[in-house]
Structures are given as C-alpha cells and as structure tokens.
Amino acid sequence: MNSQEQAIYFLSDTSTEAVQRSAFAKSVATVIDGFDKVIYPDWESLFRSMNNQLSQRIMVCLDEFPYLVKSCEALPSIIQKLLNEKILKFDFVLCGSSQQLMHGYVLNRQSPLYGLANEIIKMQPIAAQYMREAMECDAVQAVEEFAIWGGVPRYWELRRDYPDTKTAIRKVLLDPQGSLMEEPQRLLRDDMRDTVQALTLLTIIGNGANKLSEIASRAGKEANSLSEPLGKLRDLGYIRREVPFGDNPKKSKKGLYHINDSLLRFHYQFIVPYRSILELGKIDTVMQVVEIQLPQFIGQCWELLCRDYVSGNIIDGIAYNVASRWWGKIFPPEEKNGKMVELDVVAESIDKKHILIGECKWTHNDSADRLMEILEQKAKYLPFIKKGQQVHLVLFMKEAPTYMNEEAKILLPEDIMQ
C-alpha cells in the first residue's frame, strides 16, 4: 500500500456498471498495488476485497454518485449492508450535483442509506469576497464579476479563460455554442422532474413578475397551485421570496419573488428574451443591450451584497441582525394619501436599541449630501422605528464622492468585499 495516499477519489460517468467498476479499481490501485489486475463481478466483492487489503483507514469519495446508482440500482443497498456490518476500514463520501437525486438517496425515508450519514453537507455558493483573489482584481471589478458569474467555481474558471468580462460574456453566455448557454436547462433537468413548469416560472419571474398574483396570471394558473413548485425552486436556491422588513415571512401578503442566482438572472434578462436573435448569430446586437443594462443589473447584486455584509456584522461597535429591504407608505405632513418609498437596507441591532437604514448606489458622480438628505427625509416617517431607537444612516456607494460630509457614513466596495 502506498502510504502517501490517504484517499481515493472517483468521478462517475454514464458508462456501464462493469466499465465503472474497472475504472474505480484503477483508482484504488493508486493506494493498493495491483488492485486493478483482478476483474470484480460486482461492487460488493470489490469493496470487500479492497477492505481486506487496506492496512490503514482511508476515505473513498464517489463523485456524481447518482451516475453509479443509475448503472447499478443495488449500490445503495450494498453500501448499507457494508456500513451496518461495521467492518469497513474506509469512509464513504458520496457527492452529486443533482440536489434532487442526492436528497432521494440520503434523506428519503425509503432509501437504504437513510439515517446512515454522519454528516450531510449542502455546498453553498462561494462568498463574493473570494472573487478578488480568484480574478486578481480590485473590489469594484469583483462586484461586477460576481453579479454575472455568481459563486460557482466552475463559472469562475470559464471566466478566467478570457482576457476581459465582455469577451467572456460573448463567448460563454451569448454564443449559441457557449459552455453556459444551456446551463439553466441542464441544472433543472438534474434537479426537478417537471422542468417545463420550472422553466416557465423562472422565465416569468426573470421578466419582472414578482408578485404571486402576477406570476399566476402570466402562467395561467391559480395562485394557490403554485405554492409547491415555487417552494421547490426556493429550496433548490434558484429563487428567493422577500418580504418587507418587520413582516412575518409566513403571514405577509407582500412577498416578492426574485431569481436568486447571478448566472440565472443574467440568463433570463439577457438570453431568453433574445434567444432567436442569438441563434441567428447576432451576438453584437444583444451585447449592445447588455452593455446598456449591465450597470443596473450589477446594481441589484450590489444591494444583495450590502445586505449580506450588514447581516450579523458588527458596524461601529453595533452587532446587527439579518438585513432586508423595506417598501411601503410613509406619511409626511404634505402627503395626505401617503408616499410609497423603498429602502435598500434595513437592519435592527441584536439588542434592539439601534436600527440601520441604508441606500445603495452603483453609479458615478453621486452626491453623498443629496443622497443622505433624501435618506434622512425617509427615515423621519418610517412606521417600524421604535421609540428610543437610535437610527444610523449609511450610504453604500460604488466610489467615494469628491465631497463628503464628515458625519456621513459611507461604505465602498473595498469595505464590502474585504
């Protein structure tokens, strides 16, 4: 046995069971000399032979585990049997990109592997702050890159193959032959049984219908019939439901649905509406639309990043709870019928004594004084501010203003992306 090796990694594919066993035996041979010289008739005999020859405990990682199960439906039962015997000298790490299938193999009560996992890890997107290191860029560019590519490492790798963002957008996203042109469809095929309904809902939300009633109307469905499919998309992380700050998420009727993933947002804003044009090879035409709308598109991501930054963070010695948006009416004396306003960032301190109100801007040459004055006027009449609470106003800006009031609290990309 090669003492330098402490783990076996095997990436499954769609080939037959016998071919995959043979390939896996070659991976084992990096740890156990000559292991691949034998033909194993089934997975159980392979695992038992491997176990008998190990002299120290190792880890066995089976990536894209659903492909293995597709070629051998008995595999989960075989692994269950071996684990229950408690004789193994190796630990299984089962991985898969299909959330639905992995959930079925591990968390379904009818699955042989149910209850046998010591730990279940659902991988989350990589935090935006790591984009600076990955792209070797400044904080402003890191925000712009994250707004397009999100937190999936593979997307970052594809972006790095090109010298600049615009070239990467053209080649990877807009080109009909691009690597990620069909990514949403591929993801949904892996994760959902009814891809037609899921794609329909994502298209509707991506086109700007955010209220449940609007989504139902465009889909030609009753609103209550969409609870389950929308919930599934939320569970998978494709969409999110926002309610105004202070509202109970379970009871609020003001919920708005948004696409949650950066790449999916880009796909449904810039690819789906212009798919026919792109298929004709008119990439320049669509790229012109992208260049015009991209600052606003990035600005929406900037708001999310700012809320994430505030959530659970300590700012000027004050620890804040989860930040969210707020929208609703305020009633200044001159507005008898009230005035609709929106706030980009609202967070209450954990001790309830403070509340942070923030405005996010991703534009050039903004006047900090003007923005702060507008924010102050809004804050005077907000219905959710409690008696005695100290209000802290913050501007989240793309760049530092040329003139800045010393009392104004301004946070820049360098602060958010650190």
pLDDT recorded at residue 21: 97
pLDDT recorded at residue 5: 54
Q: How far apart are CA 108 and CA 170, in angstroms?
A: 42
**Taking the model in full, what pTM does it have?**
0.87
Residue 14 tokens, joined: 């769609």
DSSP secondary structure code for residue 13 in this structure: -
Average pLDDT estimate for 263-287: 96
Q: How far apart are CA 418 and CA 412, in angstroms?
A: 10
Least confident among 29-43, 93-107, 258-272, 293-307: 93-107
CATH number listed for the domain at residues 130-298: 1.10.10.10
Q: How far apart are CA 379 and CA 393, in angstroms?
A: 9
Closest CA to 60 of 100, 32, 18: 32
CATH number listed for the domain at residues 7-106: 3.30.370
Sequence-distant (6+) residues with CB within 8 A of 73 are: none
Closest CA to 356 of 399, 326, 397, 400: 326
Cβ–Cβ < 8 Å for 169, 283: no
The residues facing 61 across adjacent strands are 9, 93
- pLDDT exceeding 70 applies to what percent of the chain? 98
Q: What is the CA radius of gyration of the chain?
A: 26
- pLDDT exceeding 90 applies to what percent of the chain? 85
Return left, alpha or beta for 250; rule: phi > 0 is left, psi -120 to 50 is alpha, else beta: alpha
Cβ–Cβ < 8 Å for 372, 336: no
| Model confidence pLDDT, tens digit, residues 33-80 | 999 999 999 999 999 999 999 999 999 999 999 999 999 999 999 999
pLDDT recorded at residue 2: 47
Three-state SS for 46-96 is HHHHHHHHCCCCEEEEEECHHHHHHHCCCHHHHHHHHHHHCCCCEEEEECC
Average pLDDT estimate for 290-315: 97
Q: How far apart are CA 113 and CA 76, in angstroms?
A: 6
Class for the domain spanning 311-416: alpha beta
Average pLDDT estimate for 111-122: 92
Closest CA to 72 of 19, 9, 116: 19
Alpha-carbon separation of residue 21 from 17, 27, 63, 188 (angstroms) = 6, 10, 14, 29
Q: Domain-by-domain residue ranges, the chain?
A: 7-106, 130-298, 311-416
* Alpha helix stretches (DSSP H) within 150-282: 153-160, 165-168, 183-191, 195-206, 212-219, 227-235, 262-266, 275-279
| Model confidence pLDDT, tens digit, residues 375-402 | 999 999 999 999 999 999 999 999 988 7
Give the model's confidence band at 108: pLDDT under 50 very low, under 70 low, under 90 confident, else very high: confident
| Model confidence pLDDT, tens digit, residues 317-374 | 999 999 999 999 999 988 889 999 999 999 999 999 999 999 999 998 888 888 999 9
pLDDT recorded at residue 3: 44
Question: Within 13 Å of residue 260, how many CA atoms lie on the same side as its CB?
Answer: 15
| Model confidence pLDDT, tens digit, residues 236-265 | 889 999 999 999 999 999 999 999 999 999
Q: Is 130-298 in the same CATH topology as 7-106?
A: no
pLDDT recorded at residue 106: 86
| Model confidence pLDDT, tens digit, residues 161-218 | 999 999 999 999 999 999 999 998 988 888 877 789 999 999 999 999 999 999 999 9
Query: Would strands 314-315 and 318-319 be described as parallel, antiparallel, or unpaired?
Result: antiparallel
Return left, alpha or beta for 260; rule: phi > 0 is left, psi -120 to 50 is alpha, else beta: alpha
For 343-366, give one letter per residue: b (16+ CB within 10 A) or e: bbbbbbbeeeebbbbbbbbbeeeb
